[in-house]
Every structure is written in structure tokens, then in C-alpha cells.
Chain A
Amino acid sequence: MTKSELIEAVSQKLNNFTKKDMELIVNSIFESIKDALARGEKVEIRGFGSFRVKERRERNGRNPRTGEEIKIESKKIPFFRVGKELRDRLNK
């Protein structure tokens, strides 16, 4: 399922909104999660899961082509943990 298929499916369930509005709203949902994480906040969606930022430490690596040693800077990655309700539904 892609984002446009998700928008389509939701529009069919709630037909008092236009597809255009639904598109703006669905985008706004994912944008707000992204923005919260960019601010360093955690996002908890009960029944679905939670998103937070994990930090990868700086480490030494090697350029695989030249063998030259390089420093890989620390970086942040978005991390998702499935919520209990969804985990149970996936396994029932």
C-alpha cells in the first residue's frame, strides 16, 4: 500500500471529505511526526507504536576502495517500536 492508496482507502471510509483535503490531512499527520522527531521529541501513538530518535555513535571506518581509514561522524536515526495492540493483531 502506498500513501496515495492509503488516502484513497480512508476517503472511501469517510466520504464527507474531498480527496484533496484528505491528502492534505494525511500529509499533515506524517509531517507532524517527522517534525516532532526533528525537534528531538518522542511520538507515542497508542495502539500503533512509538517513534523516537536513536543516536549512532561516531566510529572509525575505512574507505572500501582505497583502504584509507576515515572517521564516520555520529548520526541520528528514526526508530519505531510497534505498540502492543498492533503487535497482538499481527500475531493472532
Chain B
Amino acid sequence: MTKVDIVERIHENIGITKRDAAMILETVLETMKETLERGEKIKISGFGNFVVREKRERKGRNPQTGAPLTIKARRVLTFKASPVFKSAINSK
């Protein structure tokens, strides 16, 4: 499933044009990206939480060559699915 299929689904469910559905989907995604960029978490009830985590610099190794290297401090995004989401996937 890609964005095109989500647009299709909104169009069928709500009855707005695909063009409007696509515009809204893009705006939702952009708003979420801006929020996460600020380091703010997003909680979608019934779906899950997106949390930005700060990782410290650490030492690692190139798994191919074994050469030691420094993994720089960075921000990663984690998603934790809500219990509703988890049970939707496990039912049937």
C-alpha cells in the first residue's frame, strides 16, 4: 500500500475528490514531520505514538571490515503501536 491507495480509500470513504484527499494527506504528513522535527512527540489514540529519541555518540565497528568507527550523536524516530493496533493485527 502506498500514498495513492490511502488517497483512494479516503475518496471512497468520505466522498471528497482524490485531489483534495491527496492534498490533505500531504498536509497531515507535513504537519507530522514539522512536529517531529521540533523534537515533539505525536500521540495518535487507537494507532500509536511517534517519539523522537536523542542518541549519544558511541563507538562502533564497520560490520564488514571490523574497523572501529565513531557513530555520531543523532536523533532517531521510534514508533510504539497502541494496544488497539496490536490486537487488530493479531485477531483472525
Q: Complex formed: what's the CA distance from A76 to B88 in Å?
A: 10
* Contact call B81/A6, Cβ cutoff below 8 A: no
A-B CB pair tally, cutoff 8 Å: 134
- Cβ distance B27 to chain A, nearest Cβ, rounded Å: 5
- Interfacial chain A residues near B9, Cβ < 8 Å: 28, 32
Q: Complex formed: what's the CA distance from A88 to B29 in Å?
A: 15
- Interfacial chain A residues near B91, Cβ < 8 Å: 38
- Interfacial chain A residues near B77, Cβ < 8 Å: 49, 80, 82, 86-87, 90
Q: Complex formed: what's the CA distance from A86 to B3 in Å?
A: 16
- Interfacial chain A residues near B86, Cβ < 8 Å: 75-78
* Contact call A1/B37, Cβ cutoff below 8 A: no
B61 at the interface (CB under 8 A from A): no
- Interfacial chain A residues near B21, Cβ < 8 Å: 25
Tally of contact residues, A, Cβ under 8 A: 48
Q: Beta-carbon contacts of B1-26 to A below 8 Å, as 1s and 0s?
A: 11101100110011010001101110
Instruction: Tell which of A13, A28, A33 has the most Cβ of chain B within 10 Å.
Output: A28
- Cβ distance A29 to chain B, nearest Cβ, rounded Å: 6
- Interfacial chain A residues near B1, Cβ < 8 Å: 32-33, 36, 41-44
* Contact call A10/B28, Cβ cutoff below 8 A: yes
Q: Complex formed: what's the CA distance from A76 to B86 in Å?
A: 7
- Interfacial chain B residues near A76, Cβ < 8 Å: 86, 89-90
Residues of B near any A CB (own CB < 8 A): 1-3, 5-6, 9-10, 13-14, 16, 20-21, 23-25, 27-29, 31-33, 35-37, 40-48, 50, 52, 74-79, 81, 85-86, 88-92
